[in-house]
Amino acid sequence: DAGVIQSPRHEVTEMGQEVTLRCKPISGHDYLFWYRQTMMRGLELLIYFNNNVPIDDSGMPEDRFSAKMPNASFSTLKIQPSEPRDSAVYFCASSKDSPPLHFGNGTRLTVT
């Protein structure tokens, strides 16, 4: 089992650019979560999916953020346009029909 796979591991971009983060959940997991980690705000849930359908996106900061899950093995989190305050580590996690969640190693995003 390869675990949750996220790419890229690091992303550095300039303000105003579009950023796309990618996630491959563990095979057979029905739930997929996107979390953001910062020193100031800790771990925040942005959005989660069940069977590829978004269930709760109340944590998405604003319209600049969007997430999709076109199939059971792939999800993207897009930020357009990016801003310096979006700099954080973004984690993807997946689970079966109940916790625990299994996390990827994250994407460290730096927006300059």
Residues that bind another protein (CB under 8 A): 4, 31, 33, 42-43, 45, 48, 50, 55-56, 91, 93, 95, 97-106
Cα 83–chain centre separation: 17
Instruction: Considering the complex, state which of residue 37 and residue 66 has its C-beta at the smaller distance from another protein.
Output: 37
Dihedrals phi, psi of 46, to nearest 5 degrees: -90, -50
Task: Give Cα separations from 25 to 14, 35, 41, 54, 80 (angstroms).
Answer: 28, 14, 25, 15, 23
Q: Find the shortest distance in angstroms from Cβ 53 to another protein.
A: 13
Instruction: Considering the complex, state which of residue 18 and residue 56 has its C-beta at the smaller distance from another protein.
Output: 56
Q: Find the shortest distance in angstroms from Cβ 96 to another protein.
A: 9
Other CB atoms within a 10 A radius of the CB of residue 109 amount to 21
Instruction: Considering the complex, state which of residue 70 and residue 99 has its C-beta at the smaller distance from another protein.
Output: 99
